[in-house]
Amino acid sequence: MLNLTRSGLNEPVLSTPYYVYILACNDGTHYVGCTSNLEDRLKRHSNGWVPATKSRLPIKIEMFLVFGDKYQAYSFEKYLKSGSGRAFSNRHLILSK
């Protein structure tokens, strides 16, 4: 949800965006993550600084979704990592094989 005004001011203010992203890994698997700084996080993955993807390089970003609420983003990430979330991804998200 967006915070549309600052306290006492009428200037628009956007909350920090959170990104849920899916990476295609070199071994044919996918990695799901969540971050508030997508550019930095992808850099960390690509440089091998993330243990979960370090042995599966190179990686390619398949998709990302932007959320205005941190808790919704982390909740959706958790869902995508569940059995029904993986089934949803396979049915509805275009992921390269």
Q: In the predicted model, what is the mean pLDDT of the chain?
A: 87
Residue in this structure with the two tokens 């970003």, named with its chain if needed: 61
Q: How far apart are the C-alpha atoms of 86 and 13, rounded to whole Å?
A: 34
Angle (CA) 40-53-17 rounded to 5° is: 35
Using DSSP's 3-state secondary structure scheme, residue 18 falls into strand
Q: What is the mean pLDDT of residues 75-93?
A: 91
Q: What pLDDT sits at residue 77?
A: 97
Answer with the residue of higher pLDDT: 46 or 88: 46
**Nearest 5°: phi and psi at 18?**
-120, 140
pLDDT band at 46 (very low <50, low <70, confident <90, very high): very high
DSSP states of 21-78: EEEEETTS-EEEEEES-HHHHHHHHHTT-SHHHHTT-SEEEEEEEEES-HHHHHHHHH
